[in-house]
Structure formats: structure tokens, C-alpha cells
Structure 1
Amino acid sequence: MAIAADKNSDLFIDGKLVPGGNGRYPTINPATEEVLGTAADGDAEDMSRAIDAARRAFDTTDWSTNTELRVRGIRQLRDAMKEHVEELREMTMAEVGAPRMLTSAAQLEGPVEDLSFCADTAENYSWRQDLGVAAPMGIKTQRTIAREAVGVVGAITPWNFPHQINLAKLGPALAAGNTIVLKPAPDTPWCAAVLGELIAEHTDIPPGVVNIVTSNDHAVGALLSSDPRVDMVSFTGSTNTGRAVMAAGAATIKKVFLELGGKSAFLVLDDADLAGACSMAAFTASMHAGQGCAITTRLVVPRARYDEAVEAAAATMGGIKPGDPTNPGTICGPVISERQRDRVQSYLDLAITEGGRFACGGGRPADRDTGFFIEPTVIAGLDNSARVAREEIFGPVLTVIAHDGDEDAIRIANDSPYGLSGTVFGADPDRAQSVADRLRVGTVNVNGGVWYSADAPFGGYKQSGVGREMGLAGFEEYLELKVIATAV
């Protein structure tokens, strides 16, 4: 694979690998702070050419109607990624700082296999639905509902789970018949750029259908929201940026999908195995250095057992040492950048200012002179009004909050501008399910259940987003409905 050999990547526009108008910029290994290589730095003109290629491919080819071609192309991409999975794994650990163990799941192999769901859905989908004959206003009419591609999709993705999020947009958008311009995060350009190489070398996907513009300038990605040639924007990232995407898209009344932030709660009921639940919460908050929008970062526990809960969480979290992502035993790798490490540290400093204390962690590991590492940290002594309990930190930080029974636990969980995910642990499954039913979130884990799956929709309530990704609902986000009424 070229990207592993020469440690440089290019833009992918209209079926060709091309340089960026702004030259190149370095991509950094967050575990070592070493420069891995460079990525093409696209500019506004590059983005315009990519949008034009996608527009032309949608308007002038049969891509949107040739289901067989789309299914074949998606499966070819899946197979090419599987063929190069070990090279992709090394690249992902180096560029993302993703622990090796996660590359066997949501950081790489899971999303690659999820492309099968996209291809199978397109192959078996009912693109037309017969509503039968009726006589509205006395006119005998045959009615049909047709489902068609939206058009040109602009996809803007973050750095935390790049393969998962890139493919969760690319797969269903292509399966539904759209063309796409992908703008990945500046921190992880290679994970996106490699898709251009694989598509060019291993698939029958026509030129212009997929375009990938890496850039160190966030403003280049923002052009997708305002350009009238783009029919839909699919964005995953922070809530603040999501607001800007929605506002920019309003000028052309674009269809907008947003998967945004979270501050999810892990509720421990008073009949639960407290130590086991708190240990799981601590482990979850430490994975990939807490860099997941759906990770539960508020541990809500019975007030009468608060100190015990803090101790149990700290025992687990304090035993998880930030380490080399390439080590099979590493759970918590680095955060993505120095900027992000400083941001997390600012929240840890704020926790003390707000009157909290650290049961473990609290800063940079003493044994790590290089790399963007933060110790897994348990914050105690604060309630749900604290900023560290309300704002998304995106680091290995767990805040423990006391509740006074099920009603109070539900209130605390829902007392958030976000509504992405949640967890409920309780010995009585009916009681736990009843609590889960009242959480205003898009996904709920009850007693360790796993909601991540290709056929399950993912998304949130409130300021966690608009729409759903993955599953049939995620596929249908990329479709329009047309009613065809024919007089008979």
C-alpha cells in the first residue's frame, strides 16, 4: 500500500490522486510526538473541484440508478480493506493513537465488515412501494412511492474513530446512490486518504463518485455546508461546530445530518452490584483515552454508598496506565494532540476550582515525558451542576455524582443539554428496563448490553444531534421520497 511505503498521502478528486493547493502538512503520532509523514493540504479550489466532480458524477452517470454497480463497488472496497487490514491497523495505531485491541472492533475491523450491511441493504431494498389505486378528488389514480438518492453528500468527520465514522457515512451514502465529498479531520488524514487509493486501485466505483479532500484548514470543510451544489451535509463532531453546519446549510435548505456531543450517564441503582458496575464504568471511561462521544462519563450512584462507589471506580481506573497503543494490553492510549491534552488538563484544573477532588489521576503521567497522555481520572465531591459534569471533556475522566433513588437518578441523567447514550445497572431487570425507558437518549446499555452494531441506528436526542447513523434508519437518511401519481 503506497501510504504505508512513502508516508505521504494525496487528495482524491474525480478518480485521481492529486496534490493539495496548499502543499503538505505533517501528521503526528500522538503517542510519540514524532512526525509520521505528510498529507496533502487541500484549499478552497480543491474543494470546489471535488464538489464539481461529485455533482457531475451524480447528474451525468447512472450511478444513482445502477444498484448492481453500487453493491459491487462497496463490496470491492470492503474486500480491499480486509486484504490490507494489517497495514491499516499499523497506520491507525500510529495516526489515531488507537489501542491495538480496539482495531479488532470499532476502530477498524468492525466498520470494514459493516460495509457488508450497506451493500446487502441496497441489494435487497424496496426502492418502490405500490400504494395501489385510489380516486382522490374523483380522479382514479395509481400511486407509487419512489425512494431516490439525495444527490451530492458532503461528509465531515472527526478524528476519534476515523474508520468507523468515515465508513458509516461513505457506505450508506454510496449504497443509496449518492456521490460524496469526504472532508476528514486534520489530525487523521491518512485514515481517509487511504480510501481513495483503495477505491482507485481495487474497485469499479466510477471517477467523481467518491472525492476525498484532506486539509489542515477547517474552513475548507465548512464550504460543504454553504455550497449550493451540495444537497446534504453529514457531520460528526462537536455540538458548537454542528450549530455552524446547520446555520450554513440553512441558506440553501440542505438536508443536514448531525451526530454531535454527549455527556452520558452511567446509572447504578441501589440493588446493583456496586463494585462491578463502578469498575465497568471506570474501564469504559478509560478506553481510547475517553475519546468517544457516547462514552459514559458521569457515574451516578446511590448517595448512601457514594464513598464506596468512588473507591471502586478509582481502584479500576487508577490501575489503568496510559500506554503504547501498539501494546496488545493497552486500554488507554494518548489523546490525539497537545491541544487536546491541554484542553483536558484545563477541565481537571477546573474540577479542583469547583470544589472537587481526584480519587485517582489528575494530570499527565509522571513516567511519560513524550506523547499526549493523560492519567485516567476519577473526580469526586461535585454534583451535576459542575461544569465538569455538564461539558464534554473528551478525555479519560469520570465524574461521580450521588443520587437519592431511581427518580433522582433519572432526573440527573436527563439534566443535560445532551442525549446521546446512557447505561443502567440494576439487579432487577424489569426495574432497570423501566429506568432505561425514561432516559432521553438515543442508545441505552442495560446491564452490559452492546448497542453498537451495523443494523442498529445510532444517534442522539437534544443537542446530541439530528437523525441517525447506521442501521436501516441510517441508510434512509441518504434518500428522498417521491410520490408518483398516474391517472388510470
Structure 2
Amino acid sequence: MTQKPTATQQPAAPQTAGATGILAGDPRLLIDGELTGATGGARFEVIHPGNAQVVGTAADGTVADLERAIGAARTAFDTGDWSGDVAFRQHCLMQLHDALERNKERLRRIVVTEVGCPISVTGSQIEDPIAEVKHWADYGRDFDYLVDTGVHRAVIGTARRTLSFEPVGVVGAITPWNVPFYLNIAQTVPALMAGNTVVLKPAQLTPWSGSELGRIVAEETDIPAGVFNVVTSNANAVGAALSADPRVDMITFTGSTATGRAILAAAAPTVKKTIMELGGKSAHVVLDDAKLERVLPMSAMVACVMSGQACIMASRILLPRSRYHEGIEILQAAMAATSVGDPWNPSVLQGPQISEAQREKVLGLIASGVADGARLVTGGGIPANLPVGYYTEPTLLAEVDPNSRIAQEEIFGPVLTVTPYDTDDEAVAIANNSIYGLSGEVSGADADRAFAIARRLRTGNVTVNGRSHFGLTSPFGGTKQSGLGRRNGDEGFREYLEIKTIGHPA
């Protein structure tokens, strides 16, 4: 079995100091089992969105660092035992699960520090992904990697055919900043359990959620050198190089559709397998028999709880014209009542945007909506009591033209748009009027009618009457320009495997 080199001890990882408050993460890369600085010792600053202050640094990896990581992953896959030893993989990932449990409060503080996610809603950012590690460790242990399909007749004689599920090889994982620790786990752990080796490139705005994972793997698990590598960087060229390198067999990416297109173009010359979870502009079809007082406050909360920085958020509310004004009043009250502020305050539900650039994008899209004829019902600016940090008011826009820019572009902010409709057919047409197809929602008292509407939406996932489509046991992914492939469920695990059909004597 490949031996893991001893991790270097400088620069040292920061120590946890107390249970709450800002905490910097590990400033090192993980390459071939070694925790190390970037080539030349370069670092870049990390800013806390809650106060716009620099709170630490991360290693600014270079293309040369990335190439070393890819080489290590290639060697580990081609010459090591990882791909063929299911029991050892399960052992290592259970070690990782236990180590993450021990480190979860440190990880929670790091996520709040670099994302600005309110500490009150970090369960989905911390506890859920830690549980996911155990899920995939057990799932991969029990998965049937050889499937006998029986005897088949052909012109040249009978043959028994067996399906062999085999790891793809070296997987490059490029992750976003909105739920960084969760997606670092979701995009690497199933790949590892399937027998692949991995090079993780975390988002530039949230490097520590990746580097901390690398530190824990290096210091607290038996995962061999080269099997898991982490390269943080402030340079776009590093992600581009990962997508283009011929030694990488597969890319898994979550992020904007524009970046997804660039990754596909870079991967095309080597015909890499890809999983893409891209942008979304999901619609919530509220039927005329829905209990608005139950449905709409939840829609407002979901729009604000992660500062609107969620790809599956149903940001387009479609209300029946007969109940339009009633619905607007409920939404206005719910948006206005949302608590916005310091993400370290346990009573706060909405924190800041990730950066000043992201806030300016959100405010610009709101302004474009008003310019295109939408009515600003509430919000639309920077909270007067929060002049420091990247905060945006919860915003509601009514009478939104379904063809306008704000109805078509992903906002990624705490903004809901409302459009009236007259018939179910019109609601479906408006909902499907998008280049995106990631998610959607339908609410109505008649469950059969709501389900029928859900089947007509051109999306990969739909929630009906608050019953979530999302979970580890169900495939998740988009249609149209919202992505390729699936995560979660049996389908999601198989994405990280190739199928070989073997014909042999019966």
C-alpha cells in the first residue's frame, strides 16, 4: 500500500480559540500527502463578509502546484491499491467522518467566517455533509461492482455477460463559495468511495473550507498520499488548467452556467466525463386553491436564509391573478420581518452577500427590474443599520415581466419577483420560459392537480406542497443549461464509475 509522507509542520495550522467568533483556516495546500505552502510562498487574503475585514490568508497555488497535485493523483490511481480495495476505502472514509465530527465546531466557525452564513442555519453546511461521509462509506461498501446479467444468445454463440463498475480515474473537483464545505464533501467523497483519486480546487472566496478538509485528511486519516489533494488559488488559470489537463479523467463542477461552459470547452479536447450543477432560475407555481398564509411566508424565508445565494431557490413566484394582491401583502410582510445582520448572532436568519462585487450585482439587477417596469414593494437597497459588511435588504418586486432581465437572470441574492397568471397553462409556460431547469415548486390544495403541474415543469427537481425533492437517496441535477449528470442516489454514485461489459463463456 502507498505510504503517506509525513506532513510538514510549517506554516502551522491556526489553533481553535474559543467556541464562537472569527477563525482563520489552514493556509496550506495538500499535495501528495504533504501539507505545504504554494510555490514561492504566495498567499492571498480572505475577507469576512460580515465586516469586510481581512481575517487571514490562504495559499495562492500556482499552475505548477496544480500539476504536481494532478501527477500525484495520477500515480496514486495507476500504481496504488486505492481503486481495488473497497474495504480500505470504507475504513478511511469512516476515519474521515469521525475526524470531521471532532472538528465540526472549528469547521462551523470557518464557514461563518468566510461565507457569512448565519450560525443559526449552519446545520446544512456542517452536520449534513459530515453525515454524508458515512452514508457514502456504507453505500460504497455494499455496492455491487460486478453484476451478472445472465446468458445471452448471439450469432456467434451464447455468452454470459457481466457488468463491471470501475472507477473513472483522476477526478478534478471545482467547487463554489455558497455552501463550500458541503459541496467539497458532496463532490469528492462519493468519487473517493468509488475508487477514484481526487484533486480539489475550492472557490477563491472560500479556500479554508477546502484546505481544512485537506489538513484533516492528512493528519487524521489513513488515506494514502496522492489519493486526495487540495490546491487553493486566487488565479482563474488554475481551475482552467485542471479542466484541460489530459491526466484528469473527469471534472465535477458546481457554479455558474458561464463558468460551466468554459469548463466544458476546456475539457472537450480530451473528451472528459463531466458532472455539472449550474445556474438556476426556479419558479414557484402557486395555484389558486393554495393556502397562501402557509405557503408564502416559507417562500420568503427560503429566499433570505442564505442571503439568496442558493441555486435551487424558487426566486420567481407565480401567483394567480385572482389572489395576486393578497399574495403580495403576505410576501411583503414576511420579507420585511426577516432578521438581517451579524451572522454570529443566533437570532439572525439572513447574513451578508459573499462580497461587495456580489452585492453590487444584486443591487444592479434590482435596479434593472425597476427600470423594466417592475414595482418595488419592499427592500431594494443596503440596510441603513448595517453600513459595514456586504448586506442587502430582503427585496420583493411585483408586476415583473417574465421576459425581463430580472426574470431571466440568476440573481443569487435575497430577491423575489412576482408575476401574475390567469390559467394553469399560462403558469407552466411562464415557469418554463428560462434557459435554466434546475428546480421548481408547486403549491395547491388539490394534490393531484399540483402533481400534474409538477410533471409539466422542465426541471430536474420539483417540490410539491413543501415536500422536498432533495436528499442523499434521490438523484439531483438539472436540465437545459442547469447542468449535466446527477448527484446523490444510486445514479449519483454511478456517475463516478465506468461500466465495462464483459462477455465470457457461459
Per the shorter chain, which TM-score range? over 0.9
Aligned residue number for residue 434 of structure 2: 416
CA drift of 1:436 comes to 1.0
| Equivalent residue letter for 1:334 | P
Q: 1:58 aligns with which of 68, 73, 77?
A: 77
Which of 447, 460, 465 matches 2:483? 465
Residue identity matched to 2:192: L
Question: In 2, Cα distance between the equivalents of 1:4 and 1:99?
Answer: 22
1:13 aligns with 2:37: no
- Out of 415, 437, 453, which is 2:471 matched to? 453
Please tell me whether residue 232 in structure 1 is matched to residue 283 in structure 2. Answer: no
Aligned-pair CA distance for 1:134: 3.1
- Distance apart, 1:135 and its partner CA: 3.9
Residue 78 in 1 paired to residue 89 in 2? no
Match of 2:7 in 1: none
Which amino acid letter does the alignment assign opposite residue 71 of structure 1?
A: Q
Q: What are the within-5 Å matches in structure 2 for residues 311-326 of structure 1?
A: 311-326=329-344
1:32 to 48, 51, 54: 51
Pair 1:267-2:278 in alignment:
no
- 2:394 partner letter: P
C-alpha deviation, 1:410, in angstroms: 1.1
What code does the residue aligned with 1:192 have? G
The code of the aligned residue for 2:28 comes to D
Query: Hey, what's the Cα distance between the residues in 2 that align with 1:7 and 1:157?
Result: 17
User: Which residue number corresponds to residue 2 of structure 1?
Assistant: 13
* Offset from partner CA, 1:444-486 (integer Å, 9 cap, x none): 1111112222212211111000001122211110000111122
What does residue range 73-222 of structure 1 map to in structure 2 within 5 Å? 73-104=92-123, 106-222=124-240
Q: Distance in 2 between matches of 1:108 and 1:406?
A: 39
Cα distance, 1:8 vs structure 2: 4.5
How far apart, CA to CA, are the structure 2 residues paired with 1:4 and 1:457? 38
RMSD over aligned Cα, in angstroms? 1.3
The count of residues paired between Structure 1 and Structure 2 equals 487
Name the counterpart of 1:281.
299
Q: Counterparts of 1:452 and 1:2 in 2: how far apart (Å)?
A: 35
Decide whether the 8 Å contact of 2:26 with 2:211 is kept in 1: no
Q: Does 1:389 align with 2:400?
A: no
Query: Are 2:253 and 1:242 equivalent residues in the alignment?
Result: no
Q: Verify: 1:483 aligned to 2:501, yes or no.
A: yes
SS state of the match for residue 64, structure 1? helix
Which whole-Å CA distance do the structure 2 matches of 1:76 and 1:481 have between them?
29
Deviates further, 344-353 or 288-297: 344-353
Q: What residue number does 1:303 align with?
A: 321
SS at 1:316 equivalent: helix
- 2:462 pairs, out of 418, 422, 444, with 444
Q: Is the 8 A contact 2:168 2:496 kept in 1?
A: yes
Structure 2 residue aligned with 1:255, among 259, 270, 273? Answer: 273
Q: Which amino acid aligns with 1:197?
A: R
Contact 1:278 1:299 in 2 (8 A): no
Percentage of identical aligned residues: 49
Cα deviation, 1:71-120, whole Å, max 9, x if unaligned, reads: 1111111111111111111111111111112211x211101101112111
Answer yes or no: is the 8 Å Cα contact 2:26–2:215 preserved in 1: no
Give structure 1 stretches of 5+ with no counterpart. none
Secondary structure of the corresponding residue to residue 232 of structure 2: coil
Write the distance in 1 (CA, Å) between the matches of 2:85 and 2:54.
Answer: 43
Q: Structure 2: which amino acid aligns with 1:367?
A: N
Structure 1: how far apart are the matches of 2:87 and 2:27? 30
> Secondary structure at 2:82's aligned position in 1?
coil
Give the Cα separation in 1 of the matches to 2:194 and 2:28: 27
* Distance in 2, Cα, partners of 1:382 & 1:96: 30
Match for 1:142: what amino acid? R
- Partner SS state of residue 233, structure 1: strand
Give the AA of the match of 1:426.
G
- How far off is 1:304 after superposition? 2.0
2:328 and 2:404 map into 1 onto residues whose CA distance is: 17
In the other structure, the counterpart of 2:424 is: 406
- Counterpart residue type for residue 306 of structure 1: Y
Write the distance in 2 (CA, Å) between the matches of 1:460 and 1:156: 17
Q: Secondary structure at the match of 2:155?
A: helix
Q: 1:235 to 1:7 in 2, by over 3 A?
A: closer
Is residue 331 of structure 1 aligned with residue 349 of structure 2?
yes
Q: What amino acid sits opposite 1:31 in the alignment?
A: G
- Separation in 2 of the partners of 1:394 and 1:258? 18
CA shift for structure 1 position 155:
0.5
Q: Distance in 2 between matches of 1:418 and 1:3?
A: 41
Contact 2:374 / 2:401 at 8 angstroms: preserved in 1? no
Q: Is the 8 A contact 1:4 1:87 kept in 2?
A: no
Gaps of 5+ in 2: 1-11, 17-23
Provide the residue aligned with 1:378 in structure 2: 396
Runs of 4+ off more than 6 Å: none
What TM-score results when the alignment is normalised by the length of structure 1?
0.98
Q: Quick check: 1:349 aligned with 2:360?
A: no
Give secondary structure in 2 for the equivalent of 1:110. Answer: helix
- Partner of 2:477, secondary structure, is coil
- State the AA in 1 paired with 2:103: H
Shift in alpha-carbon separation, 1:4–1:462, aligned structure 2, 3 A: farther
Task: Tell me the residue number matched to 1:44.
Answer: 63
What is the one-letter code of the residue matched to 2:470? Y
Amino acid aligned to 1:2: A
Give the superposition deviation at 1:4: 4.3
- Asked if 2 retains the 8 angstrom alpha-carbon contact of 1:467 and 1:477, the reply is yes
Once the two structures are superposed, what CA deviation does each residue of 1:238-291 show, in whole Å capped at 9, x if it has no partner?
001101111111100110110000000111100011232221211111111000
- Contact kept, 8 Å, 2:281 with 2:410, in 1: the verdict is yes
